[in-house]
Structure 1
């Protein structure tokens, strides 16, 4: 039998402590998500409603098929910056008329939906996901364009948004724009470059320059409607393909457009799947509050894969990395999961072989992170850890099957790279509230700086300031700890969201379904030179 046996004891003190720590982190995360959901705050939400308009997430909800989930992406974008959490944009994956779509919606309660630097990065990430997975894009538009005080960070890179739309269309990936209010200046190109555009009578306004700008540039007097209203674009310019009476009618028409796209998945849905044999609730008590304490990732695998059924690959070799085959929501999957944290030469070689096998079989890969990085020390350097770690990173870099990453615990140093961190283009990357990621752990980094400072003082014959050293180490540890936390990293879009561990199977299932809209094909050769 290949069904995983669980040794987890929910009645143990260790489990209770782990669960309590995780619930505390989830409570703090809920508060951060609430800030994004609040948009511009009660005053601006009330003003928006007083105009008879729906909120961004209400528009998304009406667009989606009844009783279907919405996988929101990057909800904490801009956290810790000078801009509001969420970056005045909602992005995510949902089902419209049976078609999985990438959906974006401006939040006009936040500075009129104006785009700041984090809005741009969030939108570009959404386009990247749509392109890689061949997901139709539906844009729910209401934005005053660029946030002008930050234009220096938006204007030059912002052109990529419109480039992406044309590339999506050229790749036969449909794009639909529904304009609920203003779409001005550069933002006018969003409906202008979409395959299908819906505009709303007396609400939608699309123009390169509004009346004040036109008056300044040409001396011409004009009004919003004649310059860029829905009636004009539907009857005169031809920009509007569909003319809606109100917001509900616009959403209805957008759904009909998607229904007529004839957009098909490259792979059929696998049908019903056997649920795991263990309760997802128990995922709360697996990861220790102190990430220096190891845990068995098989306990996680047993609670997310179909039937808790897992065929382990090389179980007796390179034992601090668990590799094996499973199915998740019916989709075949290769899993790489850190067991004891450190990656040695054997683990690196094992990973490289396993990744090659997945590419031969066209099977997506899931990386479950809990690593402090590759092992250091004289014996390990002499044993070839550099070339063996490079072998694993080579395999990850040149693998062509889709990759999914979940940061459960630590994800430090080059181990983050070898386990397909953000720089290695996973199709999706999520973190648990327990995760931490940095060049190394806070204590190790502070210790390295202390050793370097001591050596420098000794080389110059200067006395060493022990009190200053202790103070510096404390400051560095606090800084690295803060910068390692998932909410900090998520705010910078280094992941696609921080998720509740109990939702992991659902989130990964939605991602796998989206991935299979595009062909899933592994590398046919094409790996770099493996140094043996």
Structure 2
């Protein structure tokens, strides 16, 4: 039998303490996510509604198939910055007329939907996801263009938005723009470079320069409607393919556009007869210790995520700090790499390298479950070749072409973050649990390293070392690194695609795998030179 058993003591004090701590973190997370949902605040939401307009998330909800899920991406973008949480943009993957699409919706209650630096980066990430997974894109547009006070950060890199649209079209992946209000200046190119454009009568305004700018540039007197109104673009310029009577009609037309795409997925179909996990996913609340220095068995997580809790472990007696094996999630075959005791040794690195190669041989997507402090250090390990063994694993991760999905459960430190397919290694999706932490090393270790270096410098200079200053420096550095290691900080920086409730891990992975299979799944045909 390959069905995983569980040894989790769900009634024990430690388990209960872990669950309480996780629930507290989730409550904090919901409070921060609520800031994104609130948009520009009550004043601007009320003003928007008084104009008879729908909010960004209401537009998304009407666009999607009834009762279908929406996998929101990067909801905490800009967290910890001077900008509104969410970056004035809603992005995610949803089903429209049976087709999985990447949906972007500008939030006009936040500075009129103007794009700020974080909203721009969030849009770039969404475009990457659409391109990597062959997803049609639907833009729900009501934006004043760039946030002008930050133009120095937006203007030059922002051109990528339009480049991505045209490249998607060249790859025969459709792009659709539904324009509900202003789409001005550079923003006018968003509908201008989309395959299909729907504009709302008497509401949509699309022009490179509004009446004031035209007056300043040319001396010409004009009004919004004749310069860039929806009816003008539908009857005169031809920019609008469809003229909608109102917002609901625009969404209806947009859905019909998607319905007529005759869209087909290119990846293999999932098995239809998969089973739910044998073990309760709610138990995931108490699996991760409050102290990440305390290891936990990732099989307990796998048993609550994979179909039927059925897992064929690969090389179970070798490199036991890394669990590898085969399973399926919502009918999609996957390979799983999960850290068991934090540290990666040479054996784990070699085991991972072989396993990644095998997954590429069979075109099988890989899931990386992070809880690592990095590769082992020390004289014996250096002499045994830990660098070249770690390099083998990183080589395999870098050149693997099957889709990768990463979930940060606990620690994800140092080069271990790289070897387990961190953000820089282009996983198709990367999500974090509220318990996750990620940095070059742990806060205490980093502060300790700095202390040792400073102490040695003082000794070489023949100067006394100030122990009081050292203690203050350690405390300051530990506090800084701790704050910068937390998932909300990292999510705000767009280093993940969202922080998820551990209980939702199976669902989120299933939605991600379904989106991934919109495109072909093909393994690598070569990996470059492995140092042996």
1:148 aligned onto 2:157: no
Give the secondary structure class of the aligned counterpart of 1:257. helix
TM-score by length of structure 1 reads 0.99
For 2:531, the equivalent position in structure 1 comes to 531
1:336, CA displacement in angstroms? 0.1
1:270, CA displacement in angstroms? 3.2
TM-score by length of structure 2 reads 0.99
Instruction: Determine the C-alpha separation between the residues in 2 that align with 1:107 and 1:56.
Output: 5
Residue segments in structure 2 that go unaligned for 5+ positions in a row:
none
For 1:349, the equivalent position in structure 2 comes to 350
Instruction: Determine the C-alpha separation between the residues in 2 that align with 1:143 and 1:30.
Output: 27
For 1:419, the equivalent position in structure 2 comes to 420
Instruction: Determine the C-alpha separation between the residues in 1 that align with 2:373 and 2:518.
Output: 35
User: Is the 2:270–2:330 contact (alpha carbons within 8 Å) kept by the matching residues of 1?
Assistant: no
1:271, CA displacement in angstroms? 2.4
For 1:498, the equivalent position in structure 2 comes to 499
Instruction: Determine the C-alpha separation between the residues in 2 that align with 1:45 and 1:385.
Output: 56
For 2:255, the equivalent position in structure 1 comes to 255
Instruction: Determine the C-alpha separation between the residues in 1 that align with 2:238 and 2:57.
Output: 29
User: Is the 1:175–1:194 contact (alpha carbons within 8 Å) kept by the matching residues of 2?
Assistant: yes
For 2:430, the equivalent position in structure 1 comes to 429
User: Is the 2:337–2:368 contact (alpha carbons within 8 Å) kept by the matching residues of 1?
Assistant: yes
Give the secondary structure class of the aligned counterpart of 1:101. strand
CA separation of 1:471/1:151 partners in 2, compared to 1, >3 Å: closer, same or farther?
same
For 1:195, the equivalent position in structure 2 comes to 195
1:273, CA displacement in angstroms? 2.2
1:272, CA displacement in angstroms? 4.3
1:119 aligned onto 2:119: yes
User: Is the 2:413–2:441 contact (alpha carbons within 8 Å) kept by the matching residues of 1?
Assistant: yes
CA deviations on 1:122-173 (whole Å, 9 max, x unpaired) are 0011010001100000000000000000000000000000000000000000
Instruction: Determine the C-alpha separation between the residues in 2 that align with 1:170 and 1:53.
Output: 34
1:528, CA displacement in angstroms? 1.7
1:75 aligned onto 2:75: yes
Give the secondary structure class of the aligned counterpart of 1:401. coil
Instruction: Determine the C-alpha separation between the residues in 2 that align with 1:78 and 1:212.
Output: 32
1:236, CA displacement in angstroms? 0.2
Instruction: Determine the C-alpha separation between the residues in 2 that align with 1:165 and 1:238.
Output: 19
CA separation of 1:426/1:44 partners in 2, compared to 1, >3 Å: closer, same or farther?
same
1:263, CA displacement in angstroms? 1.1
CA deviations on 1:420-454 (whole Å, 9 max, x unpaired) are 00000000000000000000000000000000000
Instruction: Determine the C-alpha separation between the residues in 1 that align with 2:259 and 2:274.
Output: 27
For 1:96, the equivalent position in structure 2 comes to 96
Question: 1:279-318 maps to which residues of 2 (within 5 A)?
Answer: 279-318=280-319
Instruction: Determine the C-alpha separation between the residues in 2 that align with 1:141 and 1:269.
Output: 34
For 1:14, the equivalent position in structure 2 comes to 14
User: Is the 1:70–1:93 contact (alpha carbons within 8 Å) kept by the matching residues of 2?
Assistant: yes
Question: 1:57-456 maps to which residues of 2 (within 5 A)?
Answer: 57-267=57-267, 268-456=269-457
1:459, CA displacement in angstroms? 0.4
User: Is the 1:272–1:329 contact (alpha carbons within 8 Å) kept by the matching residues of 2?
Assistant: no
User: Is the 2:100–2:136 contact (alpha carbons within 8 Å) kept by the matching residues of 1?
Assistant: yes
Instruction: Determine the C-alpha separation between the residues in 2 that align with 1:422 and 1:411.
Output: 11
1:524, CA displacement in angstroms? 1.1
Residue segments in structure 1 that go unaligned for 5+ positions in a row:
none
1:269, CA displacement in angstroms? 4.3
Instruction: Determine the C-alpha separation between the residues in 2 that align with 1:242 and 1:131.
Output: 26
User: Is the 2:226–2:232 contact (alpha carbons within 8 Å) kept by the matching residues of 1?
Assistant: yes
Q: How many residues align?
A: 531
Instruction: Determine the C-alpha separation between the residues in 2 that align with 1:40 and 1:271.
Output: 44
Instruction: Determine the C-alpha separation between the residues in 2 that align with 1:270 and 1:278.
Output: 21
Instruction: Determine the C-alpha separation between the residues in 2 that align with 1:293 and 1:453.
Output: 30
CA separation of 1:501/1:394 partners in 2, compared to 1, >3 Å: closer, same or farther?
same
User: Is the 1:278–1:302 contact (alpha carbons within 8 Å) kept by the matching residues of 2?
Assistant: yes
CA deviations on 1:271-290 (whole Å, 9 max, x unpaired) are 24210001110000000011
For 1:35, the equivalent position in structure 2 comes to 35
Instruction: Determine the C-alpha separation between the residues in 1 that align with 2:275 and 2:480.
Output: 45
Instruction: Determine the C-alpha separation between the residues in 2 that align with 1:263 and 1:486.
Output: 36
Instruction: Determine the C-alpha separation between the residues in 1 that align with 2:155 and 2:229.
Output: 25
